[in-house]
Structure 1
Amino acid sequence: MTEPATTAPAIPRPLFVYALLYGGMTVLAGVLGNKQVALGPLAVEAGIFAFLMLVVLSSTVAQLYGRKTADRMVFWGFLPLALSVALIFLVLQIPASADMPADRQAAFSLMMGSTPRIMAAGPVAYGVSLFLNVWLFSALRGKESEGDGAGSGLGMMVRGGIASALSQVVDTLIFISLAFYGEFPIGDLLVGQMLAKVVLSIVLVPPLIALCVTLARRLDRA
């Protein structure tokens, strides 16, 4: 007697879409981080925008599918991050074409090259801060049921803002300390980056989580 064929469980469409976006943001954050932007009196490296999207997406997934699913997404985010670092290192080792202008070669090396300390600090800060964000976002949910979208609305946005702000403080402390401690005084840099990231977390993250939850429900109905 032939056993009936089994099919793998389908991944919910919103989770599939957000996982794809999440992987892309892990790679883009490092590239954008090469530019510092001025937001009024605040100065912050541009990679924060991609990093805040990682916070938004992980919080959204925790809201809709539970903490364990969000933790798995954060864990697998190390894969595109590691592959991108390995490919950048490989490309930097391959001699440039003789047809490539020298100024473009120098610009590429400057943009894509990093010291070993910076390359090590990025993944450590990523892992600690994103897992912390998911844990805080879920813990602040209290006794609400996980994975069904319960508690959405103002409470969800407040939880998102608090979790993001605290995790960004930890991210900044870890990254700047590991990457630059001993190279130059880092006190002013730490305070400035923490302030900028906390402000952006409070202003941008809550409405973006609400938007992503709303989009997910529409994708489910599509």
Structure 2
Amino acid sequence: MDTDTTTAPSGTPSAHAMPRGLFVLSLLYGGMAVLAGFLAFKQVQLPFTNLAVEAGIFAFLILVVVSSTIAQVYGDATARRLVWWGFLPLAVSAVLIFLVLSLPASPEMLEYRASDLAAFETVLSQTPRIMAAGPAAYLVSLLLNVWLFSRLRGKTSGEGTTTGLMIRGAIASALSQAIDSVIFVTLAFYGEFDITNLLIGQVIAKVVLSLVLVPPLIALFVRIARRLG
């Protein structure tokens, strides 16, 4: 991995400092890992289609873009470590959510903002199955994305060009997002209702978004990361 020559507080260069680009991408990754769960509460309709998808996919696709960018610029081993460390903000946020939901609301909020409190608790309260399904789908799909993205290196047309980079990103993202939908929908809802239509719709919507949004974003993020260092 490239090293940054940032000066340490003592005045001596730090040979093992994290590259600035990796530092920025890691911060973005942690934020998106937490935000995806909150955005997923809303279902949005994709333009020009009848497909609906949970809004958390937009944050999750940024996770795909960041992990692919890190695999491209800093190596797939670094990208895999980031995926595993992504459980840390997820775990901390889950503990804090449980703590906040357990604490009693203030009398003023109960009296004057009862509807806000109800909405807050509705969004943050999730069933154990959904809470388990999210991290499971996260881990499998993002590790698969990094693996596919790295394995396709040198096997796509235009390799070494922006076009080749975008093709790899599109293929890896589309396949990993299809697997993500299967894992999440099955673990979260199987047995509660017929999941066939939901599953098909989620897979199609996520694949479409992966093919449209992920490739240009990976090209942009790789350029930014290399410029940052």
The TM-score, its normalising length taken from structure 2, stands at 0.89
Question: Is 2:121 the counterpart of 1:112?
Answer: no
Gaps of 5+ in 1: 145-149
Q: Which residue of 1 is the match for residue 9 of structure 2?
A: none
Gaps of 5+ in 2: 1-11
CA distance in 1, matches of 2:216, 2:122: 35
Q: Secondary structure at the match of 1:10?
A: coil
CA distance in 1, matches of 2:220, 2:14: 32
What are the within-5 Å matches in structure 2 for residues 195-214 of structure 1?
195-214=204-223
CA contact (8 A) 2:170 2:210 kept: yes
Q: Secondary structure at the match of 1:151?
A: coil
Offset, 1:142? 3.7
Offset, 1:23? 0.3
Q: Secondary structure at the match of 2:167?
A: helix
Question: Is 2:195 the counterpart of 1:186?
Answer: yes
Aligned partner letter, 1:179: A
CA distance in 2, matches of 1:11, 1:133: 23
Offset, 1:52? 0.0
CA distance in 1, matches of 2:95, 2:137: 18
Offset, 1:167? 0.3
Q: Which residue of 2 is the match for residue 218 of structure 1?
A: 227
Offset, 1:217? 2.0
Aligned partner letter, 2:146: V
**What are the Cα deviations for residues 7-66 of structure 1, in whole angstroms up to 9, with x where unaligned?**
560111100000000000000000100111111322111000000000000000000011
Alignment counterpart, residue 132 of structure 1, candidates 144, 151, 162: 144
Alignment counterpart, residue 122 of structure 1, candidates 134, 147, 150: 134
Alignment counterpart, residue 54 of structure 1, candidates 55, 63, 66: 63
Aligned partner letter, 1:91: V
Alignment counterpart, residue 90 of structure 1, candidates 86, 89, 99: 99
Q: Which residue of 2 is the match for residue 19 of structure 1?
A: 26
**What are the Cα deviations for residues 167-195 of structure 1, in whole angstroms up to 9, with x where unaligned?**
00110000010000001100000000000
CA distance in 1, matches of 2:153, 2:201: 30
The TM-score, its normalising length taken from structure 1, stands at 0.91
CA distance in 1, matches of 2:155, 2:208: 28
| CA-atom RMSD in angstroms | 1.6
CA distance in 1, matches of 2:74, 2:125: 37
Alignment counterpart, residue 51 of structure 2, candidates 39, 42, 52: 42
CA distance in 2, matches of 1:39, 1:33: 14
